[in-house]
Amino acid sequence: MTLIACRDLTLAYDQQPVIAGLTFSVSPGDYLCIVGENGSGKSTLVKALVGLKTPSEGEIRMGEGLRPTEIGYLPQQSEIQRNFPASVYEIVLSGCMAYLGKRPFFGSAERKRAETALNRLNLSGLKNRPYGELSGGQQQRVLLARALCATSKLLVLDEPAAGLDPLISKDLYRMIKSVNRDEKITVIMISHDVQNAVAEASHILHLNKKPLFFGTTEAYLETSLGKLYREGIAA
Amino acid sequence: MIQEIALMLSFPFMVRAFIVGSLVALCASLLGVSLVLKRYAMIGDGLSHVGFAALAFATALDLDPIRVSIPVTVLVAFLLLRINESAAIRGDSAVAMISVGSLAAGVLIISVSTGMTTDVCNYMFGTILAMSKSDVTLSIALSVIVLILYFIFYNRIFLITFDEAFARTTGIRVDFYNMLLAGLTAITVVLGMRMIGALLISSQLILPALTAMRLFKSFRAVIVCAAIVSIVSFIAGLSLSYFAATPAGASVVTAQLFFFLTFSLIRKIRQAEPARGR
Ligand SMILES: Nc1ncnc2c1ncn2[C@@H]1O[C@H](COP(=O)(O)OP(=O)(O)OP(=O)(O)O)[C@@H](O)[C@H]1O
Ligand SMILES: [Mg+2]
């Protein structure tokens, strides 16, 4: 029973491989954290998962009736315009695009979906506020709500807490965890916050050009990599 | 005053200019919001110069200006989009090169063939007298098509303007809609060139959008405001050009600048107020 499986995956820019020979799989309900240093290819990997990048070798297979357009994606912050003139509601509603089919306009079902996502992330009060005037943490919550609108199966989040202060990050992680636990939505999240990853994720994928580790969090803590972090926490 | 306005509207060419001009101004302002936000403003500017070259070419060969310029400009629009997005060469510089290149080519073609006729001058600076009846019909039909397409694809255009990557993941054919935007812009630019002139038409795309963004912060409000500013500026500018015998294009752009400065001032005042309250 796998939701998404990568086999011998190689991803490259202009023939220069960024990731080579990566094999892993994610089951429904899993919470996978992808960790690794800057430039280790984490964003490239999730772009391949959501269909923005074609693998140069290997394959990505989706199971459980998951269609590529049913993934809720949250891009890395640098790729979003922070001062874009749009209201919170306009942005969250646009997450329902995959449900639009051939219709030109959103109907009541999509509007309800957007409302639910807004409520889920405590954004109802900000519904009509301009996106550009929100704090970084609020903006990330809006993008998370949009991703939630786009899926009821799999969230793929690229550093949702980057640049947020520890308290706000914690809040965001808590919401992600509760979405994973209560709504049984699978989560694949890139994070530099290994402490949080170890605390909340069910699986860890540690990348550094080549895959260093893939497995459950418990197993990760037993490896030399994981031990390093555990000692870090203890210290 | 009312009598003078009635007199102005008794000239059929003025009525035609108001109708066609307002429609084109509306199209330009809607498309302009996406162009500005997607940093495609250079493409609009480049297209006006390409349109000018196509027109010079058509005039030299004694072909119908609009019916030749539109397909050529649409094709070049697709090309510019490609160039702008390719990471290999500096996209914006390449667009600028094509832009000045076509301007030079246009001027050369004109000087070799017919010389600087008034017709060509009209295209560079705009005139309300340049439109034949069949041009008017074609312009109205094309701008209505542009408006309908924009309306139908509004939600998709919003999403590809805000976040192309996310748009792709929802299954939207982003490249198709980018081409649609570029193609519609090309049509609008050629239609607008006759009245505003090739040298000033890109302000029609950019200024109303920038003006609306001074004060409005939701996409829909920006679109509506840009549309209103654009139409009002056009009507004001064209009336000014009628009463003061000034060139139409320059008058319209002046009206747009007036709105831009006014909106900027209001924004300044608004921003200053809470600070004073503290
Ligand atoms: N569009 C691109 N064209 C060419 N090379 C790229 C492109 N995007 C990324 N790269 C390269 O691929 C490598 C991996 O990039 P990626 O963005 O996946 O890293 P990352 O692990 O997400 O880093 P970070 O933690 O900084 O976000 C980097 O060396 C980067 O230079
Ligand atoms: Mg990254």
Measured between alpha carbons, how far is B239 from B8 in angstroms, rounded to an integer? 8
- Residue B159: predicted pLDDT: 95
Residue B104 resides in a domain? yes
Residue A94 confidence (pLDDT): 96
Q: Quick one: pLDDT at residue B128? A: 67
pLDDT of res. B117 = 64
**Confidence band (pLDDT; 50, 70, 90) for A46?**
very high
CB atoms B163 and A106 under 8 Å: no
pLDDT digits (tens, 9 = 90+) for B34-59: 999 988 888 888 999 999 899 888 88
**pLDDT value at position B114?**
67
Contacts 24+ apart (CB under 8 A), B238-243: B238/B14, B238/B17, B238/B18, B238/B21, B238/B128, B238/B195, B239/B5, B239/B8, B241/B128, B242/B8, B242/B14, B243/B4, B243/B8
A41: CA distance to ligand 1 center in Å?
6
Q: How far apart are CA B174 and CA B160, in angstroms?
A: 7
Q: Do B217 and A52 touch (CB under 8 A)?
A: no
How far apart CA B28 and CA A125 sit, in angstroms, is: 35
Closest CB to A73 among B37, B166, B213: B166
CA of A39 from ligand 1 middle (Å) equals 5
Mean pLDDT estimate for chain A? 89
Ligand 1 atom index nearest CA of A42: 21
Distance from CA of B213 to the nearest CA of A (A): 7
Tokens representing B52 are 């000018």
Which domains, ranges and CATH numbers included, belong to chain A?
1-66+153-165+184-235 (3.40.50.300), 78-152 (no CATH)
Counting atoms of ligand 1 from 1, which one is nearest the CA of A14?
A: 4
DSSP sequence for A5-44:
EEEEEEEEETTEEEEEEEEEEE-TT-EEEEE--TTSSHHH
The Cα–Cα gap between A201 and A196 comes to: 8
B277 in a structural domain: no
How far away is chain B from the Cα of A147, in angstroms, using its nearest Cα?
9
Who has greater pLDDT, A231 or B194?
A: B194
Q: Does A101 touch chain B (CB under 8 A)?
A: no
pLDDT of residue A228: 66
Structural domain including B135 reads: 2-272
Q: Which of residues 120-139 of A touch B (CB under 8 A)?
A: 128, 130-133
For CA atoms B143, B147, B153, B157, the dihedral sign is positive
pLDDT cut 70: percent of chain B above it = 92
Q: Is the CB of A84 under 6 A from ligand 1?
A: no
Q: Does A111 touch chain B (CB under 8 A)?
A: no
Q: Which amino acid would we find at residue A60? A: I
**Residue of higher predicted confidence among B103 and B195:** B103
Question: How close are the terminal C-alpha atoms of chain A, in Å?
Answer: 39
Ligand 1: which of A13, A37, A192, A208 to mutate, judged by most atoms within 8 Å of the beta carbon?
Answer: A13
Q: Which residues on A lie below 8 Å from B152 (Cβ)?
A: 104
CB contact under 8 A, A84 and B155: no
Q: Is the pLDDT of residue A234 over 50?
A: no
* Nearest CB to B163; choose among A80, A98, A106: A80
Which ligand 1 atom is at minimum distance from the Cα of A44?
A: 18
pLDDT in tens, B159-192: 999 999 999 999 999 999 999 999 999 999 998 8
Ligand 1, atom 30: closest residue by C-alpha:
A39
In the predicted structure, residue B213 carries a pLDDT above the cut 90? yes
Output the six-digit token pair for A51. 């269909």
- Cα–Cα dist B197/B251, whole Å: 11
Q: What SS3 state is found at A210? A: strand
Interface ipTM: 0.92
Of A212-216, B200-204, B261-265, highest mean pLDDT: B261-265
pLDDT of A60 above 70? yes
| Closest CA–CA distance from residue A94 to any residue of chain B (Å) | 6
Name the residue with higher pLDDT: B123 or B245: B245
Contact B163 A69 (CB under 8 A): no
> Which among A143, A149, A151 has a CA at the least distance from the CA of A50?
A151
pLDDT above 90: percentage of residues in chain B: 51
Distance A54 CA to ligand 1 centre (A): 15
Q: Which residue has the higher pLDDT, B124 or A39?
A: A39
Distance from the alpha carbon of residue A78 to the mean position of ligand 2, in angstroms = 9
Note the pLDDT tens digit of each residue in A135-168: 989 999 999 999 999 999 999 999 999 888 888 8
Cα–Cα nearest to A88, from A153, A151, A138: A138
Helix B41-60 with B65-85: angle, nearest 10 deg: 140
The per-residue pLDDT for A235 is 42
Mean pLDDT of A196-202: 87
A68 with B171: Cβ contact below 8 A: yes
Work out the number of other CB atoms within 10 angstroms of the CB of residue A128.
11
Q: What is the CATH number of the domain that holds B238?
A: 1.10.3470.10
Closest residue of chain A to B215, computed from CA coordinates: A85
pLDDT (tens digit, 9 = 90+) per residue, A20-36?
889 999 999 999 999 98
The pLDDT confidence band at residue B217, using thresholds 50, 70 and 90, is very high
Residue A76 C-alpha to ligand 2 middle, in angstroms?
Answer: 6
Q: Is the pLDDT of residue B276 over 70?
A: no
CB of B65 closer than 8 Å to CB of B265? no
pLDDT in tens, B53-112: 998 888 888 888 888 889 999 999 998 888 877 766 666 777 888 888 998 998 888 888
Contacts 24+ apart (CB under 8 A), B62-66: B65/B123, B66/B135, B66/B138, B66/B139, B66/B190, B66/B191, B66/B194
pLDDT at B44: 86
pLDDT in tens, A67-100: 888 899 999 987 778 889 999 999 999 999 999 9
Q: Give pLDDT, residue B146.
A: 93
Strands A71-74 vs A154-158: parallel, antiparallel or unpaired: parallel
Rounded to the nearest integer, the mean pLDDT of chain B is 88
Q: How many domains does chain B have?
A: 1
**Residue B203 falls within a domain, yes or no?**
yes
What average pLDDT does the segment A118-142 reach?
93
Q: Which ligand is nearest to the CA of A11?
A: 1
The residue with tokens 């999240």 is A189
Quick check: is B278 in a domain?
A: no
Answer yes or no: is B253 within a domain: yes
The crossing angle, in degrees rounded to 10, of helices B219-244 and B201-215 is: 130
- pLDDT over 70 (residue A111): yes
Average pLDDT over residues B114-119: 64
pLDDT classification of A109: cutoffs 50, 70, 90: very high
- The percent helix, strand, coil of chain B (3-state, each to 5) is 85, 0, 15
Percent of chain A at pLDDT > 90 equals: 65
> Ligand 1: which of A14, A37, A43 to mutate, judged by most atoms within 8 Å of the beta carbon?
A43
The reported pTM is 0.91
Could you report how far apart the first and last alpha carbons of chain B are, in Å?
Answer: 48
Q: How far apart are CA B255 and CA B200, in angstroms?
A: 13
pLDDT at B141: 94
Inter-chain contacts counted by CB atoms under 8 A, chains A and B: 85
Average pLDDT over residues A167-182: 92
CA of B51 relative to ligand 1 center, distance in Å: 39
- Inside any domain, residue B77: yes
Q: For residue B154, name the pLDDT band (cuts at 50, 70, 90).
A: very high
Chain B CB within 8 Å of residue A60 CB: no
Strand pairing report for A4-13 and A154-158: unpaired
- Residues of chain B with C-beta less than 8 angstroms from the C-beta of A150: 166, 169-170
Is position B69 within any domain? yes
At A194 the pLDDT is 85
Q: What is the mean pLDDT of residues B189-207?
A: 87
Q: Is A97 on the interface with B (CB under 8 A)?
A: yes
